Amino acid sequence: MGSPNDWDLMKPAADALEALGVASDVRVISAHRTPARHHDYVVGAADAGIEIFICGAGFAAHLAGVTAALTRLPVLGVPLDSSALDGIDALLATVQMPGGIPVATFGIGKAGAKNAGLFAGAILARSDVSVAKALEEYRAAQTAAVPETPF
């Protein structure tokens, strides 16, 4: 995420991963203010065992796009509603990538962060039976929690 202040919005991604038994490495990395930290973390990520990036940023959100430029690993982008434009600026900056450098972009804010975490789990579930089982159980519990009537 681009700022410590983004944690409140991005925590649902970490929570979703934890619910699936997937370890996450949470970092504050600013595409604009810590470019060297950004570069070094991303280029070293594959060797460090990172499999997927989830990048949350607000304003002119370049974190996900620049991350995708530096790695072939999947990059999931979460536009954050931390600016006067309520995340519309970050949404457009994240989703409108030029052809050739894909960023899978999710909804603005907490719901997008949660879905990015679940989607990362779905990717990992393709080759990890324990994550697949956890994801099935998560979905079953979610379904069971929906009442048939409002009374």
Identify which of 76, 83, 69 has the alpha carbon closest to the alpha carbon of residue 31.
Answer: 69
Determine which residue in the list 45, 55, 63, 75 makes contact with ligand RP5, applying CB under 6 A: 63
Nearer of residues 79 and 121 to ligand RP5, judged by Cβ: 79
11 binds ligand RP5 (CB under 6 A): no
54 CB-near residues (< 8 Å, 6+ apart): 10, 13, 24, 76, 78, 113, 116, 117, 120
Cβ distance to ligand RP5 smaller for residue 24 or 34: 34
Q: How far apart are CA 106 and CA 22, in angstroms?
A: 19
14 to 53, contacts with ligand RP5 by CB under 6 A? 30-33
Least distance in Å: CB of 2 to ligand RP5?
A: 3
Q: How far is the CB of 32 from ligand RP5 (least distance, A)?
A: 4
